[in-house]
Structure 1
Amino acid sequence: MGGGGADQTDPRSDGGGRPPVRELPFGADCYAVNLQVRPPAGTRADLVRLRDALAESTGLAMQHAPAETLHLTAFSIVYVRAVYPTPPESVWAMLERPVTEALHRVAGRTAPFTLAFDRAGLRGDAVIIEAEPNPHLETIRDAVEAAITGLAPVFRTATTHATVARLDQPVASAWSQPLGTWPERPVVEWSVEAMRLVLERRYPALDETPLKRFPLTGK
């Protein structure tokens, strides 16, 4: 469960107009291509404990995807909520080569890094954790945006966040609090050693096919 739900994309037009976006129910069929980061096992366990603590403290009904699907969406390349004027499969066919080439280049000059998540909260139907912007992640996003611009609408993820659960009913007002409100530790650290492209066929990230992995090999 990554970026989505509470719409954290920054939609930018390619000059030909921006497609409308839609809401999707939990478990809906879809076609989307995302650049993701998967958490190490220890971080994944921290996220599971945190979402359980959030469910208990808020008393809100939440839907949990399997723990192994937890991730951070670095970029929504073919955006799951966008209603494109052409089939989303054709959008990806047009973007696959330039995006893949851009990711190979930027991964080769980007060193592994660590994200520090220090806030958690609710936004729309999403239960999220948030971190401050990271220059390495933003450099990767810049490369993807440059590859897409002029070919298709850009839906850049506007924040550094991961969705750990979905609410049965969206909240009227978003809020976040320091992470130390819930777990024993005030920060969840998430080491990033590779990015991966995935094809999403059931929302949110319930049916995914890995497309390509990009190890970060810079110094």
Structure 2
Amino acid sequence: MPRNYIARRIAKEFKDGMYVNLGIGIPTESANYIPEGTRVFLQTENGGLMFGPKPKRGESNPDIANAGAEPITMLPGGAVFDVATSFAMIRGGHIDMTVVGALEVDETGNIASWKIPGKLLTGMGGAMDLLYGCKRVIVAMTHTDKHGNPKIRKKCTLPLTAAGVVDMIITDKAVFRVAEDGLYLEELAPGVTAAEIEQLTEGTILNIIEWEHIEIT
């Protein structure tokens, strides 16, 4: 499934000793695939640090959940705290990386992640703080929307959550590095061709010579 594939690829970005915030949706599933031998401190914006894989059925604690209200497993030494403390960590620059979902990303690293046309929403929540407060930003999403339209745009069409902050984009089809001069395609998912990526990506891809297929174990 695309979601599991993306989650596994996210986990390959976890490095020993990192403090990582996982956003709602696909990013939270990467907690199930932390590489063996890697100690990563996962943080949730609603006030939790050092959680692990999703608990098995019947083993969850209804009082311990991530920002998406999904049950989480607290690891030994983990902690829960108030939202003010959580955002002090984020705004203070203490989180090494955040992984978030998005509705659109563009070739300059802009991200739109909160306003869905035709739906009433309360706002963008803590996304703006995460995108500007964390040292590295990874966007994890499907490559196209449910209608097959590209989600990697030349320019975002939806209201922005943050401008010029995205460092990497991980989709079910490819991995991109976002540099100052634009998008660089770094990996392809198995069975995906460069021609397919060019067709399904509205943003300009700067390197068109070499690609590497992703190997997920």
TM-score bracket, normalised by the shorter chain, equals under 0.3
Normalising by the residue count of structure 1, what TM-score does the alignment of the two structures yield?
0.25
Normalising by the residue count of structure 2, what TM-score does the alignment of the two structures yield?
0.25
- The higher relative CO (CA closer than 8 Å, separation ≥ 6) is in 1
Higher strand share: 1
Higher helix share: 1
